[in-house]
Amino acid sequence: MSASFDRLSQLCAKRYSVDASIIKPEGDVFETLKIDSFQAAELMSELEMEFDVEIPDYELQDIKTFGALAGAIDARL
Amino acid sequence: MLTLDRISCVGEAIRDAIVTFKTNTALIEADRHRENGRWTYRELRQDAERFGALLQSDGFAPGDRCAIVMQNQAKWVVSGLGAFWVGAVLVPIDYKLTVPEQLTLLGHCKPKVLVTEYSTWVKMMREDLAPLSGTKVLVTEAPQGADLGSAQRWETETSEAFSLQYRSRQDVACIVYSSGTSGTPKGCMLTHDNYLTQAQVLGRMYPIAEDERFFSILPTNHAIDFMLGFVMPLMMGASVLHQRSLRPQFIRSSLKQYEVTHLAVVPTILKNLEKRVRERLDDLEDGPRKAVDAAIKANDFLTARKPNHTLSRWLLKPIHDELGGKLKSVFAGGTFVDRKLVEFFYELGIPVAIGYGLTEATTVISVNDLEPFRSTTVGKPVDGVDVEIRNANDEGVGEVWVHGPTVMKGYLDAPELTQEAIVDGWLRTGDLGSLDVSGHLTLRGRAKNMIVTEGGKNIHPEDIESVFDDLPGCEELCVFAANYIWPTGTMTGEQLVVVLRPDTDADMEAMVQELVARNRKLPDFKRVSGYIVRQDDFPATASLKVKRGMLADELRTLERADAIVALDV
């Protein structure tokens, strides 16, 4: 997996106090972190700060897994 | 005062406003902290006419359909208005649906023109575009040199002269889908009379002054935003703000930056605003906190009979400033709004108008007029709308039936569904409610098998069943709204359950494992939260269609807690 995935899994683990090992590329972001869409929006803003990228809202609509999220970040690095 | 008696269509009402309010700001489009653009009423007219001419250049005629699949943005309004001015029937499609779902609805209404954004069109081009045969597609925001396939750019200039076309009050203005992405599509045909009547009534109850600003947060395809964030403010010379990113921090910063006065929300957004205000209050030191608490009490006492925004803002300035300082009212669908949440905002001097509505009744059936504020009901029926409680039980709870000039003409190409929904001119809402002595409506649950999410999405259990087709070892299955089987008397805590009839030699563990796996592929709001095992055949018609009502009656004899096995969703 990409370096982005490792960084984003560390950030998510710290932010939501979960073990980083449960964050897998195929894992569902909402289900794994037990967050709703508004919390996910807040998480996205933090990730954008961390990686210095901007991901438009319409693109997030199709992102369900950590792997897809890392992919969207990678595409902008 | 909004007077629309002599107006024949929505397009005419907004055109009248444009003549009056030429130099007022009509639209602002923000993207995060950037501002993409501003339109005065005059500029809106120019852009809408250009778009109208573009439609006419390809033979678009009055009565033709123009579908729009777009995020919240200014071009939605420009396109919608331009289409109205050439006599179009607008078909606002939910941009949050999946592309196959959008194509299903487009295939049903067969629009002459589809307006969409490049990001959506790219996804559509990956699908079978048969539903769009005969539809011209106009795509906006496509990068230079992008391959648009058979589509044309929305921004294309035309030499065609624009020809204004008004419609009559009885003509259909919009086809708005209330459900049916996998079942039979329910396209509500709403007339210009429906919209003009509703706008006039709501405009009198909640006038928006020409120097005020509505923040369009809900998608414009949503019935509430279409009325409150498009039709009404533009008829009254006010401005509408669109924010391309609906992340909480940008919603909050836009409230401040653009001094928003009105907004309509779903409960999740209201909760987020509440959280922020509470955080601010918690940050206060003891002394200032006591002063704010005293001001809240004073405000509560002084505005008990009627809101007084000026007074509340003076008393509670730091809190109001957190929400932009100009916010006068918030509209929220009452079905799911937590009463304590609404009371919290009212105590701070920010009234939340709780209403009840259905797409089939244009937008609003009843709304709390705030004089005095009551958080426990969804208000009185609006002027001209009659509400009756039919087949009421001993406690006065029965199905809510609605009659009046805002009831839709019917469902598009679905006469049987229309006959079921409208009986002798009365709309059967499928919701349970009661009326108190003062005429206020309280909702008590649903008489129909469906749920509505906090985000305002209607979910029909039948639409989800196909996901579980051919579940290994399962002979039959049926999805229900649990509250339909076991009424709770409230509209909250709604959940979906699936009833399974296994084979005699079924491996239950494997079946449930597969059920969980498929369930997880669904968006969270469509997931079933539990299953019920039933050994007997489902009651069925001669054509082997499950008799859902009868099956629900049989399940009702079981204890809910015993019958449902919870799933890890």
With vertex at residue B436, the alpha carbon angle to CA B300 and CA B370, rounded to the nearest 5 degrees, is 30
Rounded CA separation B482/A37 (Å): 24
The model's confidence at residue B42, banded by pLDDT at 50, 70 and 90, is very high
Mean pLDDT of chain B: 90
pLDDT attached to residue B334: 52
B244 vs A contacts (CB less than 8 Å): 56-57
> Which pLDDT value is given to residue B151?
97
Kindly determine whether residue A57 and residue B247, on different chains, have CB atoms separated by under 8 Å: yes
How sure is the predictor about A45, in pLDDT bands with cuts at 50, 70 and 90? Answer: confident
What type of residue sits at position B281?
A: L
User: What is the arithmetic mean of pLDDT over B170-189?
Assistant: 86
If we measure between CA atoms, which residue out of B346, B434, B344 comes closest to residue B394?
A: B434
Q: What is the pLDDT of residue B248?
A: 83
User: How confident is the model over B429-449, as a mean pLDDT?
Assistant: 88
The Cα B305–Cα B299 span in angstroms is 11
Residue A56 to residue B245, Cβ atoms within 8 A = yes
Predicted pLDDT of residue B109: 97
CB of B33 less than 8 A from some CB of A? no
Q: In this model, does residue B288 exceed pLDDT 70? A: yes
Segment B531-541 mean pLDDT: 90
Q: What is the value of pTM for the model shown? A: 0.85
Partners of B380 in beta bridges: B367
The full set of domains in chain A, from first to last, is: 3-74 (1.10.1200.10)
Rounded to an integer, what distance in angstroms lies between the CA atom of residue B126 and that of residue B122? 7
pLDDT in tens, B124-168: 999 999 999 999 999 999 999 999 999 999 999 999 999 999 999
Q: How far apart are CA B335 and CA B490, in angstroms?
A: 9
> What residues in B contact A53, CB-CB < 8 Å?
none
Contact A30 B246 (CB under 8 A): no
**Tens digits of residue pLDDT in B397-418:** 899 999 999 999 999 999 999 9
Structure tokens at B198: 């509703």
What is the DSSP secondary-structure string of B217-243?
A: -S-TTSHHHHIIIIIHHHHTT-EEEEE
Is B409:B191 a contact under the CB 8 Å cutoff?
yes
Phi, psi of B167 (to 5 degrees): -115, 170
What confidence category does residue B262 fall into, taking pLDDT thresholds of 50, 70 and 90?
A: very high
Closest CA to B83 of B64, B69, B102: B64
Per the CB < 8 A criterion, the answer to whether B214 and B186 are in contact is: no
- Predicted pLDDT at B569: 64
Dist CA B137 CA B115 (whole Å) = 6
Q: How many CA atoms lie within 13 A of B17 on its CB side?
A: 29
What per-residue confidence (pLDDT) applies to A58?
82
Helix (H, G, I), strand (E, B) or coil at B92: strand
Query: By CB neighbour count within 10 A (0-12 exposed, 13-18 middle, 19+ buried), where does B529 fall?
Result: middle
Contact A59 B119 (CB under 8 A): yes
From the list B71, B247, B524, the residue facing A45 with the nearest CB is: B247
Pick from A31, A41, A58: which is nearest to B247 by CB?
A41
Residues B496, B462 contacting (CB under 8 angstroms): no
> What percent of chain B is modeled with pLDDT above 70?
97
The answer to whether the CB atoms of A42 and B96 lie below 8 A apart is no
| ipTM, two decimals | 0.78
Indicate the length of chain B as a whole number: 569
